[in-house]
Amino acid sequence: MNLKVGIIGGSGYTGVELLRILHQHKHAEVIAITSRALQGKKVSEVFPSMAGISELIYSLPDDQILFECNIVFFATPHGVAMNSVKSFLEKGIKVIDLGADFRINDSNLWSQWYNMEHSQSALLKEAVYGQPEVRRDEIKDACLIANPGCYPTAVLLALKPLLENHLIDPSNIIADCKSGASGAGRIENQAMLLCEASESFKAYGVSGHRHFPEIKQELELMAGEPVGLTFVPHLVPMIRGIEATIYVDLLDSSVDVQPYFENAYKNEEFVKILPKGTYPETRSVKSSNYCQIAVQYVEHSNKLVIMSVIDNLVKGAAGQAIQNMNLMFGLKEQEGLSQIGLMP
């Protein structure tokens, strides 16, 4: 099988990550990449890392070659994909949206958080939330995938074994998360300037981050009941990576949770449970599709601490999207994604 792939919104970091990873894929070829701002430019002019590797030229999003694709990735801001995906689905072309348009099941709730009306609320029922470790069978049969956000990916993988086995109090979950600057995208943003972000560390979105309803929705589906969630993201002075430190209360403090994590992910290629007493580092998963998780019970506070790390651009975006693509077309799930973390 040789898949023809299109990328809509290929001017950002996620777009070039899709190109980088798909270049290593044995069964996929990118035949079109779009950007209104970069129309007519070679990809290699914008991303020198692609020099001598990609001869693609940016076209407009209405380029008819996109309808020759087997699958189209939307690496676009929220509000873009929902106005375009229907035309692809009607022609039997599968779609993976790396934006937020189909992640929240309730269109009214989506509108509250994204400050615009959802124009394709009917498609929300058709879209599958693309977290393979949770919804693998549904993804295999899907035509439209809502690729999870970066923070949700790290948090949900960390809590899945605990919620599904009813080991914690779901009413008091604290997710203290940190991300590198690439999570803000490749746009002009004063807060992301070197002099603004370097040698500093700050919280943001404390009163409400757009990933909050997505995380809460998926946690409640795992738990089968309402959850109480406090989610606070932070910006750290690094380029790639997310670290989530999550605090929960065990229902029975005598339970050793390590085996639950090991059993939950023993057959998962991209989730690695670290030995007791070992703490994950973002550099260990840099440029890879892996998630590393460790758990530690803090006896003096009766708290369980779960630590989860991913690369926000790979497992938190492009890598997970390609993992979903592999499942949708019956390919080996690991295809194109075998790179381990870059060290140092």
State phi, psi for 37 to the nearest 5 degrees. -70, -25
Q: Do 156 and 119 fall within a single domain?
A: no
Within a domain: 344: no
pLDDT tens for residues 193-207?
A: 777 878 888 999 999
Does pLDDT of 185 surpass 90?
no
**pLDDT, position 300:** 85
Nearest alpha carbon to residue 229 among 283, 163, 284, 170 = 170
Q: Do the domain assignments include residue 337?
A: no
pLDDT at 38: 94
Domain region containing 232: 151-311
| Residue 323 belongs to domain with CATH number | 3.40.50.720
Query: What is the residue-averaged pLDDT of the chain?
Result: 95
pLDDT over 70 at 341, yes or no = yes
Q: What is 149-216 written as a DSSP string?
A: PHHHHHHHHHHHHHHHTT-B-TT-EEEEEEE-GGGG-SS--GGGSHHHHTT--EE--TT--THHHHHH
> What distances in angstroms separate CA 95 from CA 88, 125, 130, 235, 300, one per listed residue?
7, 15, 11, 31, 49
The answer to the question of residue 338 being in a domain is no
CATH code at position 183: 3.30.360.10
- Residue 235 phi/psi, 5° resolution? -100, 125
Same domain, 176 and 92: no
pLDDT category at 295 given cuts 50, 70, 90 is very high
Distance CA 63, CA 81 (A): 15
Residue 179 and residue 208 in one domain: yes
50 and 162 fall within a common domain:
no
| pLDDT > 90? residue 154 | yes
- Report how many domains make up the chain: 2
My answer on whether 125 and 165 are in the same domain is no
Residues 161 and 303 both lie in one domain: yes
Catalytic option among 69, 143, 150, 195:
150
Q: What percent of the chain has pLDDT over 70?
A: 99
Hey, how many other C-beta atoms are within 10 angstroms of the C-beta on 113?
Answer: 17
Both structure tokens of 164: 């599904």
Asked if residue 53 and residue 27 are part of one domain, the reply reads: yes
Is 177 one of the catalytic residues? no
- Kindly tell me if the per-residue pLDDT of 244 is higher than 90: yes
Q: Give pLDDT tens digits for 254-270.
A: 999 999 999 999 999 99
